[in-house]
Chain A
Amino acid sequence: MSKKTLAVEFKSVDKWFDDFQVLKDINLEVSVGEKIVICGPSGSGKSTLVRCINSLESHQSGVIKVSGDEVSSKSKKDNKTLTEVGMVFQQFNLFPHLTVKENLILGPMKALGLSRKDAEERATTLLKRVKIPEQVDKYPSQLSGGQQQRVAIARALCMEPNIMLFDEPTSALDPEMIAEVLDVIIDLANEGITMIVVTHEMGFAKKAADRMIFMDEGMIVETGAPEDFFKNPKTDRCKLFLDQILQH
């Protein structure tokens, strides 16, 4: 292919919840391997934007492409592209009735058709990568929040995605556990996978992001490289927001 394929592409995307417009004319191009951090006030549409990428939400107009393939705005089926997008949720969403290992091998076995042996090999490798190989036979409820979130990251990575979405991965964690999860995400960022992260952890953003996006009221208000973004925000809204969160 002559033209470079983008990892994710939004073209004039609008989305409504009934008559409330959550996303307004979103245009965004994410290249392969790029790390994007999205921030913005509560209710600005950050989660919705991310969830549109893997069809957890459907949009009403515009085009969303993942690795060059259009994500249908109507049917939620036949989205083959979706297993190449991994997602980590604020609330972990591990399967409580399954052990850590079973959580990890379910997708590879059922959706990718891997044998149990191959899936377990993958699981073992990834649990090492998120630094909790010893928890393999525990149930999620027996783990700390930080450990659970790392299992969730490993579960997503087990599908060998090209793109990883993180929606406030550390917001539900006690402060002392935030670092261990961010460390894992930073390691991952250094490995060349495309990442879109919604977070208010600005320390992390400075370290890991190639590009910052500030959202407000359903729009992308400002975007830029971290250095510029933090030093001289162009808009008042962004400046105000950064002042507020950097105070803590």
Chain B
Amino acid sequence: MQKKTVIAILLITLLASCSSPPGTWGWYVIDPTTKAGWNNITFLLSGFSATIQLSIIAAILSIIIGLIVVLPGLSENRWIRMPSRIYVEFIRAIPLLPMLFWVFYGLPVILKSMGINIPIDPFWGAILTLAISDSAFTAEIYRGGIQSIEKGQTEAAKTIGLNYFQTMRYVILPQALRRILPPLANQFIYIVKMSAFASVIGMQELTRRANEVNVSEYRPLEIYTLLIFEYLILVLIISSGIRWLERKLGADQRK
């Protein structure tokens, strides 16, 4: 569909919602020139901090877990490969929200029964869930990138005496990285969007704050419109970063 068509449809929907009497726009709710509006808007925007923190820490963890998961998954031995496959298939199959509930409400019970008394707060509960859920995709991205490197590279590395880890470190990963980074960065957009689920366990991020203001003001149209634009801006910034990265990687592909 054409971009213009999409925008037209969105505008018509918005305008239509203005015409019906109880649903008229009421931007006063986030009007920065009034005190109440200013308070609301600063409260809503301050959710960025938690959303960004959640996303970045979860992404870093996911990158690490993904690497740990993928390495045995590349083995020629199917018994070594198996746990990695099972992890990916299993984690990939679980919707984020049930996993979040399981980690936040269920995991502490298990930990307690094992005598470990670590409370899981909303922040770390959300990060853990996002990281684990995303790591299955990260692992697959790594696998695709690594397997796209010709077999001859591994063989050549072997003939000059490099062991498995040296081969990965000096020969395969540096080449695979160029193919891994762009999809990995795309995956970061997924994490940012999924972090909205953290609102249901009480994490004070963008979505949670929008919900809270909405409860007291009852202005869903304006507040959720703003919320959507908050995510849009975040994602646009990330995707311009990805394009910069792709240009940079493309530029020194063949020196």
**A residues adjacent to B (C-beta < 8 A):** 54-56, 82-83, 85-87, 89, 91, 93-97, 106-107, 110-112, 139, 141-142, 152, 155-156, 158-159
Contacts and interface: CB of A to CB of B under 8 A. Distances in A.
B153 A82 contact: no
Nearest to A51: B155
Contact of B156 (A55, A95, A142): A95
A4 to B, nearest CB: 26
Interface in B140-156: 150, 152-153, 155-156
Interface stretch (B53-61, B97-105, B157-165, B224-232): B157-165
Contacts of B156: 87, 89, 93-95, 152, 155
Contacts, number: 64
Contact of B159 (A87, A141, A142): A87
Contacts of B152: 89, 91, 93
A82 B159 contact: yes
A141 B158 contact: no
Given A91-B152, A93-B153, A110 B159 contact: no
Given A94-B156, A97-B175, A141-B254, 19 more contacts: A82-B159, A83-B160, A85-B159, A87-B155, A93-B153, A93-B155, A95-B156, A95-B171, A97-B174, A106-B160, A107-B160, A107-B161, A107-B162, A110-B161, A111-B160, A111-B163, A111-B166, A139-B254, A141-B255
| Of A94, A110, A112, A152, most B-chain CB atoms within 10 Å | A110
B252 to A, nearest CB: 10
Nearest to A104: B160
A164 to B, nearest CB: 10
Contacts of B218: none
Contacts of A152: 156
Nearest to B164: A77
Contacts of B175: 95-97
Interface range on chain B: under 10, 10 to 19, 20 to 34, or 35 or more?
10 to 19
Contact of A155 (B150, B153, B158, B160): B160
Nearest to B255: A139
A56 B156 CA distance: 10
Contacts of B90: none
A159 B161 contact: yes
A95 B170 CA distance: 9
B171 to A, nearest CB: 6
Contacts of B159: 54, 56, 82, 85-87, 156
B155 A112 contact: no
Contacts of B254: 139, 141
B255 A82 contact: no
B167 to A, nearest CB: 9
| Of B153, B158, B166, B175, most A-chain CB atoms within 10 Å | B158
A42 to B, nearest CB: 19
Contacts of A94: 156
B255 A110 contact: no
A155 B156 CA distance: 10
B153 A159 contact: no
B162 A95 contact: no
A142 B254 CA distance: 9
A159 B155 contact: no
B181 to A, nearest CB: 14
6 contacts: A54-B159, A56-B158, A93-B153, A106-B170, A141-B254, A152-B156
A134 B161 CA distance: 26
A87 B160 CA distance: 8
A89 B152 CA distance: 8
A107 B160 CA distance: 5
A141 B254 CA distance: 7
Nearest to B175: A97
Contacts of A91: 152
A107 B162 CA distance: 7
B155 A156 contact: no
A153 B37 CA distance: 73
A113 to B, nearest CB: 10
A54 B156 CA distance: 11
Contacts of B255: 139, 141-142
Contacts of B158: 54-56, 82
Contacts of B166: 110-111
Contact of B155 (A89, A106, A111): A89
A156 B160 contact: yes
Contacts of B157: 95
B162 A110 contact: yes
A63 B158 CA distance: 21
Nearest to A82: B161
